[in-house]
Structure formats: C-alpha cells, structure tokens
Amino acid sequence: MALHRISTPLKDTDIKKLRNGDEVLLSGIIFTARDAAHKRMIQLLEGGKELPVDLRGQIIYYVGPCPAKPGQAIGSAGPTTAYRMDLFTPAMLEYGVKGTIGKGPRREMVMEACTRYGAVYLVGIGGASALLAKAVKKAEVVAYEDLGTEAVRRLEVEEFPLIVAYDTFGGDVFLNGISKYQEV
C-alpha cells in the first residue's frame, strides 16, 4: 500500500498509479451527486444533451451533506452507500467521469466499468463525516437546487482522506480483505 497526494481533475497517469488498498489525500474540486441527480443526468445523456456541469475528468462524491454551521463550508459530509448508484455508474464513466467516492462494495458492473473506462472507485471513512467535512474548504450548489441535499454541489477539498477500493486493473479492496481473513 502506498500514500498518494493527488489533485483534480484526475489525469490518466495519476489513476494508473493507484492500486486497491492505497491511501489517497485528494485536493481540488469534486462534485456531489446522489440518486435523483444521477437519474436526471442519465436522462440527459440518453437524450444526447449536455449535463448542467461538465463532469469529464472529475470525481463524483455520493453524499447528502448536512447544512453548514456558521464558519463551516459544509455540514457533516459522510459518504453514502455507493451501490445505490451502480446502475448509473457505467454510463457516467463512459461519459468521462474518472472517479467516484462512496462507501461499501459495488456490483461487478462498476468494477468492469472502472477497468474499461480507466476510472477508480474510492471509499471514504464511514462514521467520520465531521472529519471529512473539515477537508471541504468551499461548497456551492451548481445544479438541481430543487433536490435539496441531493443537489449537485461543487466542493473544493484539501487532503480529503480516501482509500482506493477499485483500481483500473480490476483490483478490489473488499475481496482482498475477505480473502486475507478467510480460513484456508
């Protein structure tokens, strides 16, 4: 395992260095989106239309942040269970999204899409939503404001702590963890 300090937008050379289990401190811009926003974006893509925000080369964080308290950029911002976005993810990666952030394992189709389109799935630390929020320096709604916490937000992050779950080579940190502790 290695520690990588990377910035967005992600470059293919950055992504190819990442292996499942590696730690990442991510800085730059990431975008938030959950179920309802993904549904709208997929409808646009299927209709041959542009997205409200160009997400090519970007990372989507599956989060529904709490309202910010005075002096904060964002409230608690822990990762959402990612498999809820699995049906949308291959199309988003084909479009050009280079990474997603969530928690928990995902369907095989997502791992295959990461390999096919040169993308990564990163996991945030579950239960550490207040810690993750401290890494967010700015937050603004950029699309679908009517969705409330599920609106698409542009976040500026600094050393946002993550772990590589799926890499571009088919590596899976969850399967590695199971096999490591299985009885032989």
The total domain count for the chain is 1
Whether residue 184 is contained in a domain is answered as no
On whether residue 40 sits in a domain, the answer given is yes
Cβ atoms of 133 and 12 closer than 8 Å: no
Quickly state the pLDDT bin for 175 (edges 50, 70, 90): confident
Q: Are 91 and 60 in contact (CB under 8 A)?
A: no
Asked whether residue 47 is assigned to any structural domain, the reply reads yes
Please check whether residue 175 lies inside any domain of the structure: yes
Q: Considering just the CA atoms, what is the radius of gyration of the chain in Å? A: 16
> What CATH number corresponds to the domain at position 46?
3.20.130.10
- The model's pLDDT over 68-105, given as tens digits with 9 standing for 90+, comes to 888 889 988 889 899 999 999 999 999 999 999 999 99
Give the chain's mean pLDDT: 92
**C-alpha 43: how far from its chain's center?**
20
As given in the structure block, the two tokens for residue 171 are 């590596």
pLDDT of 17 > 90? The answer is yes
- Catalytic-role residue among 6, 31, 37, 38: 38
In a domain, 71, yes or no: yes
Expressed as residue numbers, the domain containing 49 is 3-179
- Select from 48, 8, 4 the least CA-distant residue to 31: 8
Active site residue 38: yes
Tokens 């369907």 sit on residue: 107
Tally of helices (H runs) and strands (E runs) in the chain: 6, 7
pLDDT tens figures, 124-143: 987 778 888 899 999 999 99
The answer to whether residue 133 sits within a structural domain is yes
Is this structure's pTM higher than 0.85?
A: yes
Cα separation of 168 and 115, whole Å? 4
In a domain, 34, yes or no: yes
In eight-state DSSP terms, residue 148 is G
Task: Report if residue 101 sits inside a domain.
Answer: yes
